[in-house]
Chains A and B, each alone.
Chain A
Amino acid sequence: MQNKQIKLTKQNIAAIIIIVFLIPLTLYASYKFSDRKYYLTSVLIIIYSMLPFFFVFEKRKPQARELVVLAVLCAIAVASRAAFIWLPHFKPMMAIIIIIGASLGAEAGFLTGAVSSFVSNFIFGQGPWTPWQMFSFGVVGFLAGLLFASGIISKARLPLCIFGGLSVLLIAGPILDTCTLFTMMSMLTKENMVAIYISGLPVNAVHALATVLTLLLFSQPMFEKLDRIKTKYGVLEA
């Protein structure tokens, strides 16, 4: 166990170095060579910041059980929409990512978040939004892991719902709106920022509502199921 932690920090250092060098370099290049390459610059930065997670996961050589359980959870997150076909715009995926993060930890939360949104784009079509979606879902899963899996906040319904609602409204939603801003606007002005973020609000509010409702009704049974898997098969013990 201890061994693993040392290894993790080693890799984290490598990751930090990448970030420390690559991100400023990209920012500099973007400043130096071009006017307003917001989208390109930001996507590169997003990709750099996701790489360490994937890198650590690969290096760790995950066991068969861990890999299968993560794959199953991602697939559930992607397929969950099928149970709500009758309710347009009801997207339970974020809630499921939050539950996974809260139960299995920050790393699992990030991975399932990023990978699920990548896969769901195979169904709905990849686009300039793909890296942003991966990042936004990953980050929320990661935060859920940091706050709930570590026990900083209890995994009760109320805090989960508050976290879920806020993270969609304040983190995931704005990140995706920023993607829209960068792809649709020629220049960053106060007006167009306000316009984009405000026009994103209704969509984000609906998404937040779906997340809160799913967390309200589904989080506790899902925790029970994940706990059972953790103890019965000894996988993914955070």
Chain B
Amino acid sequence: MADFKIENLSFEYPATGKKALDNVNLSIKQGEYIVVCGKSGSGKTTLLRHLKSVLTPHGNVGGEILLDGRPLKEVSLREQSSKIGYVMQNPDNQIVTDKVWHELAFGLESLGCDKRTMRLRVAEMASYFGIQSWFHSDVSSLSGGQKQLLNLASIMAMQPTVIILDEPTSQLDPIAAMDFLSTVRKINLELGTTIIISEHRLEEVFPSADRVIIMENGRVAADESPRTIGNTLMKQNSDMLASLPSPMKIYYAVNSAQSCPLTVREGRSWLSNELDSVKQNQLPLENEYEEPISPAIELKEVWFRYDKSSPDVLKGACLKIEKNTLHAILGGNGMGKSTMLKTICNIEKPYRGDVFIEGKKLSKYKTSELFKGCLAMLPQDPQSLFVKKTVEEDLLEMLDGKDASAIEKTAEICEVTHLLKSHPYDLSGGEQQRAALAKVLLCEPKYLLLDEPTKGIDSFFKLKLAQILKHLCENGVTVIMVSHDVEFCAMYADYISMFFDGSIITTNTPNRFFAQNSFYTTAANRMSRHIFENAVTNEDVIKLCKINK
């Protein structure tokens, strides 16, 4: 058994004076599935880390945590290690050893488990998680999703009664994330293991959750079932409403008498019941997409492969990008979207076809003129750009002794002015992203390329990022981004291209693009497509609902 009881828990990091946790009271029963949400910095991670003594940060603690009635501090390291599993964000850094089998056995080895038990448990876990086929592989050959499953499996091998997951899917692509979360769900249902999870992808976890806990400034703002939590948030007029799943957001904006839908399926029937007659079933269409006549960037039949003997990654990709727009490229994982960005940056060179920038062949540009005031790319991992010990020094590195006033301006655009004196690694994920963006912007690019810019950041940081990008487009910058994030692209992109099997399949405006898709589209569209013809964003659906009521 593992019942957690948290009584008046408060916590203060040393030398900040701000309470990271403020009088938290919670009780969690065996077998429950609990979702913890909140903005970044609301104390989610701090709370979760208090549930396992070895991970608890140093600082002033008040209150008490009881595990099965015993103070957690008195539960031995050994018992905690096997009873309480903890999965962290980054799939890579949690892995310790170089082989899959060794990683699975790591926890049991640490506990000094005997060989027979160890063999059995490892075999069990490998079978349960379906990792027999890569049991002997090197860890470095796995994908991000496989790595995170391995982390979960290696914890499950210790037979925990509770698993704590701290944003486990933030670094995964949507399909791997779904896979992971359904495994978590399976563990909860089949083994009765308690799940305490903090997640951004609420659409996927809300249907499984027994309770949702909303954290705000270190306090528990709400603790309710997912179906009723929206009411409380409405009453509190909370920011967290913005990060609820689409069906819920639409439901609360429309003011319905029915009960709250959680999934797209429930949303569809809710919408059908809600609207008796439909007067208007579509929004005014955006203009038909037309290829720009003089594109800012153009890919003409670009073919690329990494090795002479390896398969083609780009197979005659064609793309035209219009000036001063935000152009998003959507597509599956590992298909070559990032490679396409790299060919635009001249990092990878196509063996056939050409890239043109402002009508001039890429190969005619000198490296120095290309990246000074012309092109720049924000890499997937912003940490790849931090060299110095403060953000400010890192930004200064970009200037080569030019006028330092540019820093102030850029820092303001990216909202990192208050972070200039901090160490880049002391920032949160979203802040690191913006600091890295500031660094990239100091190249004064006319063409800004972004590789998965919304990966791992929460909806509030996404909003900020969208505002920054909008500001850039208005000021003469053309933005090309590669992404998995359907919702973000639907909201903010001017044009969207679909990338598949080495080339661009189609390009259109968001509205037309998503209206023609049935699977690869936003939740709002999936929920409303049986009634509305081209409602893509939540706002579209809400608007049409209001018109028709």
Contacts and interface: CB of A to CB of B under 8 A. Distances in A.
A237 interface: no
Contacts of B389: 224, 228
Nearest to A224: B389
Nearest to A225: B389
Interface in B445-502: none
B99 interface: no
Nearest to B423: A228
B504 to A, nearest CB: 34
Interface in A134-177: none
A83 B423 CA distance: 24
Nearest to B389: A224
Interface string B371-394: 000000000000000000100000
Contacts of A228: 389, 423
B90 to A, nearest CB: 14
The B interface is mostly helix, strand or loop, or mixed, namely: loop
A78 to B, nearest CB: 13
Interface in A216-230: 224, 228
A74 to B, nearest CB: 13
B429 to A, nearest CB: 18
A228 B422 CA distance: 13
Contacts of B423: 228
Nearest to A71: B96
A228 B423 CA distance: 10
A231 to B, nearest CB: 11
B32 to A, nearest CB: 30
A102 B393 CA distance: 26
A95 B279 CA distance: 76
B255 to A, nearest CB: 50
Contacts of A224: 389
A224 B389 CA distance: 8
Interface string A198-238: 00000000000000000000000000100010000000000
A228 B389 CA distance: 9
A234 B423 CA distance: 17
A228 B424 CA distance: 12
Interface string B148-168: 000000000000000000000
B384 to A, nearest CB: 13
A228 B388 CA distance: 12
A186 to B, nearest CB: 41
Interface of A: 224, 228
3 residue pairs, one from A and one from B, having the closest CB atoms? A224-B389, A228-B423, A228-B389
